[in-house]
Structure 1
Amino acid sequence: MPEIIQIDDIHQAQALLGTNDEHITLVENAFGVIIHARGQEVAVKGQKVEDVTAAESVLRNLLKVIEKGESIAVKDVQAAIKMAKNGTINHLIDLYDEAITKDAYGKTIRPKTMGQRMYIHAMKQHDLVFGIGPAGTGKTFLAVVYAAKALRAGEVKRIVLTRPAVEAGESLGFLPGDLKEKVDPYLRPLYDGLHTVLGVEQTTRFIERGVIEIAPLAYMRGRTLDDAFVILDEAQNTTQAQMKMFLTRLGFGSKMVVTGDRTQIDLPKGVKSGLVEAEQRLKGIKGLSIQHLDQADVVRHPLVGRIITRYEEEA
């Protein structure tokens, strides 16, 4: 007997099925079942009871997410399938309830896509997290927001933000002004998250007191960073030696997040990116997590999305 899922709302049924039934096709392929959808009724059939049960649980839990008013994409379905296979599917809905913290005005900050949710979850669970993906996926902003939340909650004593200053040469020696003036233009993206959570005034006070430290990567050499939340941004522009140096700064009570975009490497020709090499070398090591964000995690204003679609249609 097939398992039957009744859906109250036709729009929710359409959201569950996906564009051209792409969501149910993923579930069919994952569990070797056949899914028939007619109107607001979805039937799951298969040779093995356990496969039918698993597929049904994926669909029912995704439907709960949709009923909460959340939209789902392919990555959400893939995550649900993975959770069903490791026995945690009933916790899927919890990911969508997850709030990171409140901003300086009391508004709740939440991850907006499944990739972002998995990224935040990885920060909670691991001492070292790599966030790899294109611009606009929120990898840097979310890392800084989570660091500010950890500082505010007393989980760490300070935040250290760094990135390789490839554009000006790592030494920055020929630039005028003090260190802050030299480094600021390269770290501007990191300030956005701090200002969002802490506000401009508190961020400034923390920087003046050394609670938040902002420095080029070269200044990390020879240090061990205890009780700190350390973020390395633009990590695709580190050399292998720089990446090893940075990762070995991890101290007790600390967390590290390494963010980067493999498609935006500005290193001299023939120099291998430390991010690319670390991703290959460190995969599978206990205590760290490598999270990949993609175009599905790019959060745009809905109007921007419609404008881009129109340009692509007419191209």
Structure 2
Amino acid sequence: MIVIRTPDELKTALAGASVTIGNFDGVHKGHQALIKRTCVKATASGLTSAIVTFDPHPLRVLTERKTPPFITLTDQKLELISQFGPQVALVLAFTREMAALSPEQFVQHYLVDGLNMKELTIGYDYHMGKGRTGDHAMLTQIGDRLGFGVERLDPVALEGAIVSSTRIRDLVEAGDVWDARPLLGRFYQVSGEVVHGMKRGGKLLGFPTANLKLVDELFPKPGVYAVWVEVDGQAHEGVANIGKNPTFGNDALSVEAHILDYDKDIYGRDIRVHFVQRIRDERKFNGIDELKERIRRDVGIGRQILARPEGRIKITQPSIEDTAQ
């Protein structure tokens, strides 16, 4: 997948493009349906499949209130999108000036002139342009004038509820990472560089941990989780703690992953932690021995969870898929 920031970066003009557009926060099952449909239509019509998204998220530009944490930052979002086969991703720098464009101005400049769009696929609730007036009906009218077709997909629903970024965010923040998995089509994940922590895990407790330098925005509810830890494209069983280590009186949030049966030095390396299931709340223990015994129990529970077929994953570069799919 070619990633561009302006259509001018394309070395040759597109003969025609099948396009979908959105924020795609989380690249969940609903987003995946849009991307897959766009690629199918491109193949059938001999067009280039193109995804258009924004950085920063429009909410960061248009609202003065604190925005909710996003599920995927831009780099991870693009990595996930690439797994579904689009040929081009146009990442537009969202500004107030862009927000002031009418739907027709935006479509004409970026999609028709920029990408030579012939087909547009949108979600059931998609709106664009000034005042969010560019709905399905208006875009269809614009398409009739400018020479492209518009298809609106129905929402993707699981267990009677529409798959949405808000629903996934609520589940993750509540610690219900197991229930977020079917909506995402994967386990919820965070990435980061392994940095030196307080050096208590191995020397004091007998359970060395990889401490992540936090760059993601959305983290599961503090507690202990069964996880898969991805190092250099290999998945390793693990147990992770999210929280402030109340037994030691810490104040800062940390993510620490104990990789089971693993003794390699990974300081300075980037790893990915996939959250499978919550084991327990974080709590304060009366002493080191009580904490060590509880960690031993957590590791045993984690092994049981990760041994189940539905709790396992396999690495298929560059993506991570669930073996139950």
Q: Which has the higher helix share?
A: 1
Same fold (TM over 0.5): no
Q: Which has the higher strand share?
A: 2
